[in-house]
């Protein structure tokens, strides 16, 4: 079995941020956006981080460890990893099969991952971790990849792992940080930064976790199938969601926070119409409590059915909203815009 270059011997660590989506989600699943010209997704990278660290060893063993979940695998060689039928840490194993399709590394290594995102949160913890791990492995294997190539590999391997279609929007906040408009056109996907007051966004958003993880992708998959099968109501709703997303892009760029809150409310109504399972009794309760205490808009993150809920408030109401949401059963997560995209650092040899 061939071995790869000895350039691999140096360890690396990569970090990438999770995201919250403001408008346009689900339409980023190919080919839905092709039926809705002008489709765009607006999202924000948040300082809830994922990390991948790769540490060479002299034993030849390949270890995969998820520090936050406790899941782990160990293989005497990459060949043994490729031959395995099941994995505890599938995310890392599937990526390694891509980077080492038919070769052995020059040494063994320990690949560690960690995510600050709660399980099933809907803030793209797995996608952000895919970006971090892909970027780390690209550096570790001395493979030069563009940002878009990293996105394509991360997304395609995640689809192989979870076995349902996944949208493209989740990977761009992890890659670039900041606030993004992900344009979905016939000639491809284009990510553009939205210039806006990031400090003001930090003061106005509240992020909560409902403590009720959902199976990722199921709600989106059901809506996807109904759209492809020609459900006219779903089509009309997505046309309107597209209009809201374009308006959201303009509102965020203009620092028009009143309009941003209104658009959050409107998009949430349409999402509930598309997929009633996106909400739960606790989510409905939290949104009602927030509105009584100064929130101007709210929506579930990702596919819903549990996970995280994002709230927008006036700055002077934020603390009160957080307190009332916590009292109603929500876990308050720290919200701050991640200003930077994925970072990769080579570690010094010991």
Position 3 confidence tier, pLDDT thresholds 50, 70, 90: very low
- The packing angle between helices 125-140 and 90-99, to 10°, is 40
Q: Which of 130-144, 208-222, 277-291, 326-340 has the lowest mean pLDDT?
A: 208-222
197 pLDDT higher than 50 = yes
pLDDT for 8: 45
Q: Are residues 175 and 248 in the same domain?
A: no
Question: Is residue 1 situated within a structural domain?
Answer: no
Residue 177 phi/psi, 5-degree rounding, is 70, -175
Domain that holds residue 297: 198-333
Asked if residue 175 has a cis previous peptide bond (ω within 30° of 0), the answer is no
pLDDT for 350: 60
10 pLDDT higher than 90 = no
Q: How many domains does the chain have?
A: 2
CA-nearest of 129, 68, 118 to 94 is 129
CATH number at residue 269: 3.30.70.890
pLDDT for 208: 97
Position 166 confidence tier, pLDDT thresholds 50, 70, 90: confident
Quote the radius of gyration of the chain (alpha carbons, Å): 21
Give the dihedral of Cα atoms 146, 152, 153, 157; nearest 10 deg. 170
Element (H, E) at 158: helix 147-162
- pLDDT tens per residue across span 238-251: 999 999 999 999 99
Instruction: Give me the mean pLDDT over the 327-336 stretch.
Output: 96
> Which residues are CB-neighbours of 88 under 8 A, at least 6 positions away?
64, 71, 72, 73
Integer Cα distance of 325 and 328 in angstroms? 5
CA-nearest of 45, 347, 25, 349 to 196 is 45
CATH number at residue 99: 3.30.230.10
């Amino acid at each position: 079995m061939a071995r790869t270059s000895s350039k691999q011997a140096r360890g690396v660590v990569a970090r990438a941020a999770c995201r919250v989506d403001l408008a346009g989600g689900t339409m980023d699943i190919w080919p839905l956006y092709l039926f809705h010209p002008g489709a765009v997704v607006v999202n924000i990278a948040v300082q809830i981080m994922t990390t991948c660290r790769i540490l060479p060893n002299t034993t030849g063993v390949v270890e995969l460890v998820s520090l936050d979940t406790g899941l782990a695998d160990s293989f005497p060689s990459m060949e043994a990893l490729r031959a395995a039928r099941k994995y505890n840490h599938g995310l890392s194993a599937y990526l390694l099969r891509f980077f080492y399709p038919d070769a052995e590394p020059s040494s063994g290594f320990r690949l560690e991952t960690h995510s600050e995102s709660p399980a099933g949160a809907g803030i793209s913890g797995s996608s952000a971790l895919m970006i971090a791990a892909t970027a780390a492995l690209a550096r570790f294997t001395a493979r030069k990849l563009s940002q878009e190539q990293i996105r394509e590999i991360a997304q395609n391997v995640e689809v192989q792992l979870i076995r349902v279609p996944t949208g493209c929007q989740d990977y761009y906040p992890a890659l670039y940080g900041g606030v993004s408009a992900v344009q979905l056109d016939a000639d491809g996907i284009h990510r553009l930064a939205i210039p806006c007051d990031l400090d003001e966004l930090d003061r106005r958003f509240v992020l909560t976790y409902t403590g009720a993880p959902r199976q990722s992708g199921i709600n989106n998959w059901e809506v996807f199938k109904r759209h492809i099968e020609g459900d006219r109501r779903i089509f009309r709703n997505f046309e309107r969601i597209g209009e809201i997303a374009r308006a959201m892009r303009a509102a965020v760029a203009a620092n028009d926070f009143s309009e941003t809150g209104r658009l959050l409310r409107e998009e949430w109504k349409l999402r509930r119409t598309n997929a009633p399972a996106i909400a739960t009794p606790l989510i409905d309760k939290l949104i009602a409590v927030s509105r009584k205490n100064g929130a101007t808009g709210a929506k579930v993150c990702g596919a819903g059915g549990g996970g995280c809920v994002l709230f927008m408030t006036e700055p002077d109401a934020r603390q009160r909203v957080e307190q009332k949401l916590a009292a109603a059963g929500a876990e308050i997560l720290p919200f701050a815009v991640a200003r930077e995209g994925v970072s990769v650092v080579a570690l010094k040899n010991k």
